[in-house]
Amino acid sequence: MSNQTKELVTVEQKLRALFELQQIDSKIDEIKLLRGELPMEVKDIEDEIEGLNHRISKFQAEYDDFIAIISKAQFQIDNAKTLISKYEEQQMNVKNNREFEALNKEIENQRLDIGLANKSIKENTELSARKLTQLNETKQKRDARLRDLELKREELEKTIAETRIEEEELTKQSTGAAANIEERLLIAYNRIRQSYRNGLAVVKIARASCGGCFGTIPPQRQLEIGLRRKVILCEHCGRILVDSEIEKDLTEVNNEIVYTEREI
């Protein structure tokens, strides 16, 4: 549509065109929002798994330390038993009581070492058992989240594949609808859309309130909006206001166009 032709359309037609464009763009926003949440969910699970892997590594290292302490204590016990046997054998060949008592003292020291080593084994066996339980529980949780991640990634890939075609079609519709709107209004529409996270620039009146900010609209203002003789902005949020019947009228107009084309 040429700029001159755009200038000739009525305000009501302009409002219908803006509302139709908003409907299309809102559908595109919904697709992007859906797609935007899924990557965030995937990223959250990936971060959680990374944290669980870190905990698993920490628990594994601690468990290995306990096992190493137990192994060292067992080695000390075996070595002490060997020394005791050696000292007892030497006692059989001593020449005086002083040598016998010296060996006896060494035997007592080794038996003390065995006692301490056994205590260490008992303590670290209990600690290692608790740590192994933590390790296995964390691994199970990690494995469960890995399965969740796989499912979520499949869902994301499927959503991207499904919505790509729909988004491309809606983008074409948006471009086509925007082509029917004069540049001045289109610039204002895009500026308003960028001002709000929900992307709503054109909103209907609902229960005497703005459909965007829910600010109250005076009766006289509502009447002016319903007449569709000029573009009216919400005095609270600056959005373009349309009456609640415009969607129904727009559907009827589109149906009439389709019917006329079939008659031709």
Q: What is d(CA 65, CA 59) in angstroms, rounded to the nearest whole number?
A: 10
Q: Tokens representing 130?
A: 């608790």
How does pLDDT run across 90-147, given as a tens digit for each residue?
999 888 999 999 999 999 999 999 999 999 999 999 999 999 999 999 999 999 999 9
- In this structure, are residues 23 and 170 in contact, taking their beta carbons and an 8 Å threshold? no
The predicted model scores a pTM of 0.55
Phi/psi of residue 86, each to 5°?
Answer: -65, -45
Can you give the pLDDT at residue 68?
97
Three-state secondary-structure class, residue 241: strand
pLDDT band at 250 (very low <50, low <70, confident <90, very high): low
Can you give the pLDDT at residue 239?
96
- In this structure, are residues 221 and 185 in contact, taking their beta carbons and an 8 Å threshold? no
The answer, yes or no, to whether residue 157 has pLDDT greater than 60, is yes
The answer, yes or no, to whether residue 28 has pLDDT greater than 50, is yes
CB neighbourhood size of 9 (10 A): 15
Can you give the pLDDT at residue 227?
93
The answer, yes or no, to whether residue 51 has pLDDT greater than 90, is yes
Give the DSSP H/E element, type plus range, for residue 202. strand 202-206
Three-state secondary-structure class, residue 219: helix
How does pLDDT run across 60-79, given as a tens digit for each residue?
999 999 999 999 999 999 99
How does pLDDT run across 210-222, given as a tens digit for each residue?
999 999 999 999 9
Per-residue pLDDT, averaged over 176-190, amounts to: 93
Tell me the domains of the chain and their CATH numbers: 3-12+182-263 (1.10.287.1490), 35-178 (1.10.287.1700)
Percent of the chain with pLDDT over 70: 91
